[in-house]
Structure 1
Amino acid sequence: MKTLLIQFKSLVLVALLVSVTFANAQKAEAPSQSYDLGAKINEMTLTIGGVLVVATNDGLVGIKPTESQPVFTFNNFGKLKPEETDFIPGSPYIVVSQGATSGFAGLSKTKRAVIDYVQGKVIFNSDDDSWNQIYTCNVMLPQNKLVVSGIQKIGDKFEKMTPKVAVYDLNTSKLDYSFFLDKPGRVGIAKDFSVTGTPLLLKNSLIIPTAQGLIAKSHSGEDLWQTKIKGVNWMVADETEKEIYGFETTTNGKNTRIHKIGSNGAELWEDDRKVKGIVTNFEILPQGLAVVSDVAGGTGALGAKSESKITMFSAATGEDLWDKAPKTKGYVQHFYIMEDGILFGIESGGINKISFDGKPLFKKPLKTGENIMVMAHTPQGLLYITGEDANIVNLETGEEVWGKPLKYKRAASVASTFDAKNDRYLIAADGKIMAVDANSGEVSDLAKCDFEEKEDPNHMEIRDTGVFLSSSQNMTSLAFDGNENYHTYHKSPGRSTFGKIVGGITAVASTAMTVSMSMKAGANRSAFGSVNDLDSYNDYGKEAKRAADMFAGIAGASFDYLSTRFKSTAATENAQFILTKLDNGVGLVKVNKDTGNTDKEIVLNDKKPEYEVDEFGGFLFYKANDKTIYAYNLNN
């Protein structure tokens, strides 16, 4: 996930800017919609579907700004703690949990519900289906299924005490099939059939990891096979689904054991394989199995270093294919599968590439600054940008294409873009914009960039009018020769008054991160394919299409809605939404990127406003008081 968080950094940076004059502003202080929720508001979450989910003292409420009434109200479980509400990445689903999740006998009741916030439907409620205890509740994508395990109070007295698994179709809200993990009423020593990790849903079977071993069932609930491999946390299958890999975290939590199982349940390796640390990346390749694991450092002078381990195993035998693993000396921040090997970047600085048979492909590891913000394909080679330097390197040899790296003072953010018209890279750092010739690497200063409040630029893009550059309170547009078209600055209303802006661009990144996040959580990631592909620089527009295509590939009306949403033009394409201090109080303004003029302003009448902005759809949600939400349309 670290890799994708950096990959999409450019997408999620938010500019909070303001115009010097409001002469032409259209005041729009009256909200488009007003929602009296009838209970104290505790938290607001903007979803990737543009629906605001509000946690109140009564439960959850969903607000779609185009509708005058909430799309759903869920008060079945009463007031919810933040940790009891789980927004499933890249989906329209919320899983609501209440109660303990471990053990069997004698525990209080546990509840689970799944809400489709787009359609405003509760598509699963454990109370409605007589589940007394829920142990696991996993959404499976792209299959669009829900797998639940626990105790269901249906049947005779033995069945009401026997652990059970059920599979529901989330599109229809109907039960597909269910089965018991143990024979109801079995006589003998009690066995613990608790589910230890995330089930793996395949085309023709479902594999459940339990404390007794892996249990495989057909989609009709019939027994297929069972193994004695216990304590598996998550699983991955290859494309054929004939080879399955199970990951088991050791009891001390410091190592991971990897098991390989056939589609018939047979153990395909003579022994499982142990790797140090917790597996954070796993790729099934024609050349073998690429594994990245993070090892937490020890304490004291002799304590182990905190770093990632990269290993390549034989898929056939599980044997380590490399005589010597590459040194990382830090955590792997970027990890990409290339045609000739594995390319990786280290969070503390450094880039290297190793062949699939363990041979170094770079003449020597490339030294870089810390925090590699960007690693991307360009026609000239691999572009990297860190908090301290930037360069393009030959992807085959690791040699620097630019004679020497472009160095600057350490910065928390560095804005950059590619100017195709002039065949140059533009990088903003050290209070100036530097232009780097794409072919020669020659560096020249394009313009100064002296932003107020000592802000670092965090966004840059090429527009018809020139180069657009922005930060929280500053915005400037430059002609291609570096002359200033305009510069606007408005003093921030105070950092403590800043609301949380979460927009559609963030949602695109969230969608793309689904696989990585799911793997961290042990989800059913095999169906999504590889995410470790090196992107091309400045391909931001493709991310929305990628999200739209991903949603389109999943059956269901809500996914159709999400696909259509990301096919639309983002509201931020030509404007920025900005929080600032207006004449009549703190408010939000919509600022035109090409002119710097303010097209709209909304006074929030609050020194410390709580709000969310859907930057993709163009809506503002504002907490007007402790029970009321206002919605404003920012597109008009």
Structure 2
Amino acid sequence: MKTQIFKNIAAYALLAGSICMFGQKAPDAEFKMDGSIQFMKLTDAGVLLVANGDGFAGIKPDSHQLHFNFQDYGKVKQEEVEFVPDSPYVIIAQGGIFGSKKSVIDIVSGKKLFATEENNWKMINQFNLMLPQNKLIVAGQRTSKEKFAQAVGIYDLATGKEEKIFNLQDPGKVSMSITTVTGKPLIAGNKVLIPTSKATICLDLDTGNKLWEAKVDDISWLTADKTGKQIYAIEQKPNGNCNIFKLSDTGQVMWKEPHSVKGKISNFQILPNGLAIVSNVDNSGKSGLMKLASAASESRIAFLSADTGEDLWEKAPKTKGYVQHFYVMEDGILFGIQEGGINKISFDGQTLFKKPLKTGENIHTMALVPKGMLYITDEDANIIDLKTGESIYGKAINYKKAKAVCSTYDKAGKRYLISTGEEIKSIDENSGDITSFASYKFDEKEAPTTIRAKDNGIFIGSSQNLMHFAPDGSTKYQQYFRSPGKSTAGLILHGVLAVASTAVSAGASYQAGMNRNSIGQYTAEGERYKAMGDAFAGIASASFAEMAKRFKATSATENYQFILTRLEDGAGLAKVNKNTGEKEEEILLKDKKPTYEVDEFSGTLYYQANNNTIYKYNLMK
């Protein structure tokens, strides 16, 4: 989905006589807010959120009235709203030093599930949504009604129902020493582990009773294996380093001494034969003698014994940069470095590649393909043998450092296509032959942010440019739609799109069909959405079930692109057919900097008509 949000607002008097939407005289629906609109945002759940001077409202694509309108918050600022990714939840946080208010809203159902003031919380120091368990765990100080006790509360996010309240201290006793929660809790099976300033406690999730207490304090976060029997507690030290403790499922501290790790842990994997750990050392802020005495700013990889906490590797692999990709495989650990380079090491510390593979910077993609593993960076791409680290075909694709890289798999042509910003390179799936599929040049110095293999050829596009190639690489059409103006707003527009593209390309774990630590197959976008839908369907909630249907459905605007451009009578949106390049409809706005959102799944346009009004249009009528 594309988001173009700008500060200026079109005047209602101007728009009333000038908007022409696909020949329609009026929008499908009009929504008036009680106060001036502060901001609006389309969420992953497909609900448009609108914050205004008097409240916080939601609009669904199939509705002609507000889905919800909460006015008990008053004016909601953008920095007070946290959108929980890949969920139906939004968190509203308001308040100051002496009192904090937090609420959880299910934007799909339109219900407020939790509010601190309604559940007798005065101050909050931990507020964690636990997925996929679909629980909210709150820790902090209760109100005077609850004698200002320090407590932990557990809430069911499917219903908003309070399940348990556990007091960290006896509220009837006066004590000079206050016990507080110091880190993120962990749900392991039917147990909840809570790190506090005095100990780590374990509660029964069903009864709320305390099962045991481990003598490790000030823990920042915890993790456990699938059985819940191996528990690891990580203490983040003020100096930037970490201590790791191992606990049994009965609360015993298993290692004689904690294992110390330099830097902040970014990846922690519990494996049958040990613990794989990545930590990031950052000394960029140091200077002079302090910098000389410090270790290099880079990632460190370690493999520990689960029994003793001792390092099993005599010599850790050199990274010379930060680990960007980290995948556990049957024979070892495969990792890619942000600054360039891919290597693989066995579980007993032996390098598996003949030599570290040199690559360009910023590895967008590492994904399995039938012949080996495909990697794509800002400067090169190749398919390598995962046993040796060598190129399958003895050659790589090299190109001038690209400002935007995107790729796709062309099933009909049995080839991988990589857009470098000036050219589309092709890797034949069977022979490995590298050819130039097509060259191109986009106006306004844009680079493609999308490449798709379609039934009738290959499509590439950016914010203002579209191009379609026949299967042999010949041009079927090339279209350019001039941006409304080269103002600062125009630059912001391009920046927003570039950031969105980078998130999709560099975060190509979705494109590769990967989870966080296991490498997956290179997949198409539709398959990625289906996988997300399957994940949502696995959570016991009507709202997640509705989100699952949304992501499993085909995008309503799959064959169209909506471009902000100069129309004959002024600025507006052009509806362009990706298959033909033809402009089929226009939305005349006469505003170079409109505020609008396009929901590609439902085919809905939301347009801010004036300071308190939003128009909704069905783009596919």
> What TM-score, normalized by structure 2, do the two folds share?
0.89
Aligned ranges for residues 150-549 of structure 1 at < 5 Å? Answer: 150-153=140-143, 159-186=146-173, 189-219=175-205, 220-252=207-239, 254-298=240-284, 299-300=286-287, 302=292, 304-429=295-420, 431-494=422-485, 496-497=489-490, 531-549=516-534
Give the stretch that moved more between structures: 75-84 or 308-317: 75-84
**Residues 503/143 of structure 1: CA separation in 2 closer, same or farther (3 Å cut):** farther
Offset of residue 422 of structure 1:
2.8
Q: Distance in 1 between matches of 2:314 and 2:320?
A: 18
Please say if residues 58 and 79 of structure 1, whose CA atoms lie closer than 8 Å, have aligned partners that are also in contact: yes
Offset of residue 43 of structure 1:
1.8
Offset of residue 51 of structure 1:
0.6
Please say if residues 192 and 212 of structure 1, whose CA atoms lie closer than 8 Å, have aligned partners that are also in contact: no
Q: Distance in 1 between matches of 2:507 and 2:281?
A: 28
Q: Distance in 2 between matches of 1:108 and 1:427?
A: 54
Instruction: Work out whether 1:599 is the aligned partner of 2:584.
Output: yes
Give the stretch that moved more between structures: 504-513 or 370-379: 504-513
Give the stretch that moved more between structures: 306-315 or 590-599: 590-599
Task: Find the counterpart in structure 2 of residue 626 from structure 1.
Answer: 611
Offset of residue 120 of structure 1:
0.8
| Equivalent AA in structure 1 for residue 210 of structure 2 | D
**Residues 79/441 of structure 1: CA separation in 2 closer, same or farther (3 Å cut):** same
Aligned ranges for residues 545-556 of structure 1 at < 5 Å? Answer: 545-556=530-541
Please say if residues 28 and 602 of structure 1, whose CA atoms lie closer than 8 Å, have aligned partners that are also in contact: no
Cα deviation digits, residues 343-362 of structure 1 (max 9, x gap): 11111111111111111111
Please say if residues 511 and 547 of structure 1, whose CA atoms lie closer than 8 Å, have aligned partners that are also in contact: no
| Equivalent AA in structure 2 for residue 311 of structure 1 | A
Instruction: Work out whether 1:91 is the aligned partner of 2:91.
Output: no
Offset of residue 583 of structure 1:
1.7
Task: Find the counterpart in structure 2 of residue 520 from structure 1.
Answer: none
* Structure 1 unaligned blocks of 5 or more: 1-11, 16-24, 101-106, 515-528
SS at match of 1:564: helix
Please say if residues 294 and 308 of structure 1, whose CA atoms lie closer than 8 Å, have aligned partners that are also in contact: yes
Please say if residues 215 and 253 of structure 2, whose CA atoms lie closer than 8 Å, have aligned partners that are also in contact: no
| Equivalent AA in structure 2 for residue 612 of structure 1 | E
- Which of the numbers 127, 132, 135 marks the counterpart of 2:122? 132
Cα deviation digits, residues 71-122 of structure 1 (max 9, x gap): 122232322333322122221111212235xxxxxx6222121111111111
Offset of residue 280 of structure 1:
1.1
Q: Distance in 2 between matches of 1:261 and 1:331?
A: 30
Offset of residue 507 of structure 1:
11
Cα deviation digits, residues 484-532 of structure 1 (max 9, x gap): 1111111122362465679999999999989xxxxxxxxxxxxxx9621
Please say if residues 14 and 472 of structure 1, whose CA atoms lie closer than 8 Å, have aligned partners that are also in contact: no
Task: Find the counterpart in structure 2 of residue 121 from structure 1.
Answer: 111
Q: Distance in 1 between matches of 2:111 and 2:506?
A: 23
SS at match of 2:550: helix
* Structure 2 unaligned blocks of 5 or more: 5-20
Task: Find the counterpart in structure 2 of residue 608 from structure 1.
Answer: 593
Q: Distance in 2 between matches of 1:476 and 1:603?
A: 24
> Percent identity of the aligned residues?
48
**Residues 192/390 of structure 1: CA separation in 2 closer, same or farther (3 Å cut):** same
| Equivalent AA in structure 2 for residue 464 of structure 1 | D
Please say if residues 372 and 386 of structure 1, whose CA atoms lie closer than 8 Å, have aligned partners that are also in contact: yes
Q: Distance in 1 between matches of 2:597 and 2:315?
A: 50
Please say if residues 128 and 138 of structure 2, whose CA atoms lie closer than 8 Å, have aligned partners that are also in contact: yes
Task: Find the counterpart in structure 1 of residue 16 from structure 2.
Answer: none
Offset of residue 414 of structure 1:
2.0
**Residues 13/352 of structure 1: CA separation in 2 closer, same or farther (3 Å cut):** farther
Does 1 or 2 have the higher relative contact order (CA < 8 Å, sep 6+)? Answer: 1
SS at match of 2:147: helix
**Residues 344/377 of structure 1: CA separation in 2 closer, same or farther (3 Å cut):** same
> What TM-score, normalized by structure 1, do the two folds share?
0.87
SS at match of 1:547: helix
Please say if residues 466 and 480 of structure 1, whose CA atoms lie closer than 8 Å, have aligned partners that are also in contact: yes
**Residues 161/513 of structure 1: CA separation in 2 closer, same or farther (3 Å cut):** farther
Please say if residues 267 and 279 of structure 2, whose CA atoms lie closer than 8 Å, have aligned partners that are also in contact: yes
SS at match of 1:259: strand
Please say if residues 89 and 107 of structure 2, whose CA atoms lie closer than 8 Å, have aligned partners that are also in contact: yes
Cα deviation digits, residues 334-382 of structure 1 (max 9, x gap): 1111111111111111111111111111100011111111111111211
CA RMSD of aligned residues (A): 2.7
Task: Find the counterpart in structure 2 of residue 141 from structure 1.
Answer: 131
